[in-house]
Amino acid sequence: MHTTAMHMTAQGPAARRIGAAAPGTTDGTGDGMTGGKGAQAAGDGRVGHLRELERELGARGLVARVVRTRSGPAFLRVVNPAAASLAEDVTCAPAPGGHDHYFWWSWGERMHRVDDVDGAAVKLAHVLQPLDEPLDERLDRRSARRMRPAGRP
């Protein structure tokens, strides 16, 4: 039996069943498709978006890996290596009733469009930063590391 909870989102109040399928899926057991080549292609497209975000987050110093399970949609596990308790699981799916794909926070709220991977990465980096380190300082430090000549610390 599922429980209904009220959540406030950027899109307004929404009722959602706790334990229900992730956005863009029908029953939590796949990618929202019924099977066959169409399901494979849709799932691969979503994984492709997650992989793009994985690369962008890696360039920003976060550890990110696409995880595929047998019983649910693929998701991106993102961890701040400087504070391993700061982590987030991101999914990719269309908005309910729509065709445009988005990245989704683990709590089911729409995060960002998939066509702006940089914008999604900025949001994740902000959420996963320790409170004692401002985002600008952390990003500046990582940019400086990437620009150093090879062989220099």
The pLDDT, as a whole number, for residue 138 is 58
The pLDDT, as a whole number, for residue 139 is 62
117-127 and 135-147 helices, crossing angle to 10°: 120
pTM of the model: 0.60
Residue 146 banded pLDDT, cuts 50, 70, 90: low
**HEC string for 41-63:** HHHHHHHHHHHHHHHHHHHCCCE
What's the pLDDT tens digit per position in 64-78? 999 998 888 999 999
Per-domain residue ranges of the chain: 33-147
- Residue 114's alpha-carbon distances to 6, 8, 64, 103, in angstroms, are 26, 22, 16, 6
Judged against a pLDDT cut of 60, whether residue 16 lies above it is answered with no
Q: How far apart are CA 89 and CA 104, in angstroms?
A: 9
